[in-house]
Structure 1
């Protein structure tokens, strides 16, 4: 009897180890998936939702649980079709719906569902996936509680094992039930991954591929057998995977080792001419990086829409520029007195009209430049130049206006000319002009502006900065500064002019020169905008031109 009890005890320990392994496996699979989903019973009533579901829909858990899924979507007839299909459907279902958020916002979503059945194939309800898989966190918590509960029961039963063989058998039955449930949950998680509409790749801490889903296979024409258990370097031998691997190799997540928790985004085009958005994040467990998650999203349709919008803006801008130019010259003729002298009131009115028309022309030019940048038609006429030859004449043209505004202007330029850089003089002039005008507009009377030019010998680059003591930029808006149509919320009321396109254009100009652009700002203190351009010899300049 003692040997049999010992054997049963060993089996119990083995099963507990299996349970722990299963739990860790489920933990690793569920903790990082960005899905929003809910559990629905056979009556189509929501039994549970995750945080991503709440974030996406705007409804909290109490507002969602117990409600029919009808209230989530606009197309009630399609929802009815889904409810009728689920009891008889064994495979997953994918449909498109319009989500009705709590704030009445309508959002198009892709919905995936998977039926739940017992061993006798009885329909127990289904999972409904909208985005994100944060629901797995809720599942993880419940699973941990369940495993903890069963573990405690097992420990109690283990104490009693010497007293009764029957008690030990009961414990084994409980463990078996828990193991089956854990296996079921693992299968559910794998079903979610398999049916996820984006491609997923999971790398371990050594940058070895541990998991891919069918979408990755479809996007890159590879099978899981060709990829699983291969390192990032080994995958470079795969022709189909090479564009993706080259993009990932540039990521700091792979370059910086296990300590990096950065995020990385890139775009590439696959063999089917699909534009794919590549995003990558670290998988963190207890403050330690245990791997990396790569999500591949098809943005072909979004890119087509963006191109159509750019084309529309370009056409509209061209159509507007002609009449605006005619208005400009008409106003100029009136102001010059070619049609007769104007009295003071008439002249003031015409000058205001002329000024407003100039702002409209400037806005149209900005829109056209943005369109050219997005379409790759913003051409550059490069030459080797000294930055001082570009900046000094421009600075002189602004001194009078800056003085009129009562702003102190400090200029720091090296006495000896800095090394030459490859520049399109007109476009780099536009960058410096934008920096100066922004500083001038947002610095009050009595404030200070400062322009600095320096040569960074260590980095072998020329750095230009414009500093002001103006209103600064709110910290929560720093990430949007170089995006299209950005205007800080604290200056919209004080300065109505401006298209919000200047810094976006500046960033693209500098980066096209293989330079860097950045800024430092504190609200109420001021801002400093920088850009740097690499120094180039004549030979380096010739090579640079060949690569353009």
Structure 2
């Protein structure tokens, strides 16, 4: 019994031991299987996480390219590109962390991250280029972005395939583990039951995890489909934008064929949009790709229209493509033509009769028709004043048109600021007297300064400010005019004592046609253009204009001009001797001191006083300061050639008829270069100086006729002919020519005219055509352009003077004509006459 019990016990112990062994082995095996299953599950989860991250990164790249394309379409505005790129960059960081345990995937992830950074840089650069409107580099950037996007997709696909291979291997390994468990459960029931339960549990968890992974993959697929749907919606919005654009827009593919045409293009070309797709762009824009700016667009019916073209490039699935935007400029051309016709009408059809009306009224009021009764004089003065207002309106409108078109001409020279202000005050005193207002001039001790300006235009600005101050000052008041200067600028100030500027009017005071609305202001009159024109003139001179309230009432208008650096005072200016009574004065422009001294001595022997200018700048300073009866000119000066100085001289009112004797080593060469334009040059003398020829030239400069000067007036308007004749009176004999043909006929048989006055607009051509013909005459007479059209600088170089109808007062017209035809004013003193009779 004991032995059996022992055996049983032993058997039981053995069985227990075996069972324990089996249980221990099964437990160990179960632990191993469980651990291996967990490892497999984690590896599969890890693989799915890598694949999910790669797919999300690929979607991010597509979204970034889509955002870039949308930014190119919208001109680079409101782009979400940076946000998408930042999210995609975070995904690459996650990817590198997930594949850190795989050397192969780690290297691929690093290359993928570098490629993504380069793509981000290219996308941002292309958007920036589009935003700045620089399409020249945009095509290369778009092409490079497309190549990099495909490279990233390929790299992403390689990494996904690698992970999928790992997933398949792990699934195969999991299957082998399950088979081994089935065999083990058959051998060891207890161990199989225990291990089978654990294996089933592990398998369940594995399958459950796999299902979750597959569900995540399906979710990612749905997100990709949603992204494609959003892209489709974006394309729909883009199409809507294109169809609602007013300008024709054509998308051109890499084959230069129309890929998309918007509704405006269909309407403009008279062809359905679907019929335009697929046709070469050159069928509609023949100059496409060869010209920029304005081109001619061609409709299928053969008609054309002018258009401004704008082309931008981008990359599509097939390669490089472009966006062609056309803007029809037919209406703009029509408006420009209407504007040109309007200006031409105002210039000729208004200026010409206004000139006759104003000049005739001025002559009658001035007493040319005899004494007038008080009632008649009052009515005529009313008519004359209102004609002046109408003239100002016409001139202001034409000046504004020139400012807008950029054709307002400026002839800037060195000017003395004090002298400009003094001239403006004197010229406007009579106007101020009409309102019972005087002008008080105040100039600081440091106010003597030079500016580089167009004197006529600055006088226009000052006249506007002074007239406004006079109109809005109380009767009996005083307008204070001042000038101040510092190291950099010169400031002109005009201060009135009126009611000031209404607050609601301050912001638009310098706008066109701006006028305060109160009746007190409206009754003062004015066009509302003066301050706007003044602002444009001052800003063209690199200055500034403004206004401010005065301390004790009234308003101060001011403007500044840049100050010129002062030159050293010339010794001869300080030591210039007083001119003897009755002696004429000559300006000697010569840089050689010995020659200048010799000329001064020769001039003195013939009854002339002289002043020496050693360069062009000193010459014009002398002309600004004093009156001269003749000038000797050297063509080789240190700061400006003499020919240029001569042309500038002829543009000055006091230099249009100044006799000039050229004395230079290159006199003959200069005569050839001027090619007949040197109207008013008495003689051309080569160095060394021939004293006899110089004396004859001086005598020629002093020559005068006892008869009235004969003037040929080429003008088709009979009223203008009569007015000019009345202005000159008995001082000149006026010969009228009503057309170019009449003028040519008269000049062919008689060339002895002291002056030719020419109107530009004639029935059979332009009066400027006479200039070239008269330069071929043996002794070409000086020419005065008197026309309704403003002259250009090119024309001014070929004539002695240019005046504009309606801008020229009777006295200015008379003085200009008289200045051009008369001899040098004073008669030589007895001593001078006796010297001139010397051999």
Larger % of helix: which? 2
Please report the TM-score for the alignment, with normalisation by the length of structure 2: 0.32
* Higher alpha-carbon Rg: 2
Please report the TM-score for the alignment, with normalisation by the length of structure 1: 0.46
Which structure has more relative contact order (CA 8 Å, sep 6+)? It is 1
Larger % of strand: which? 1
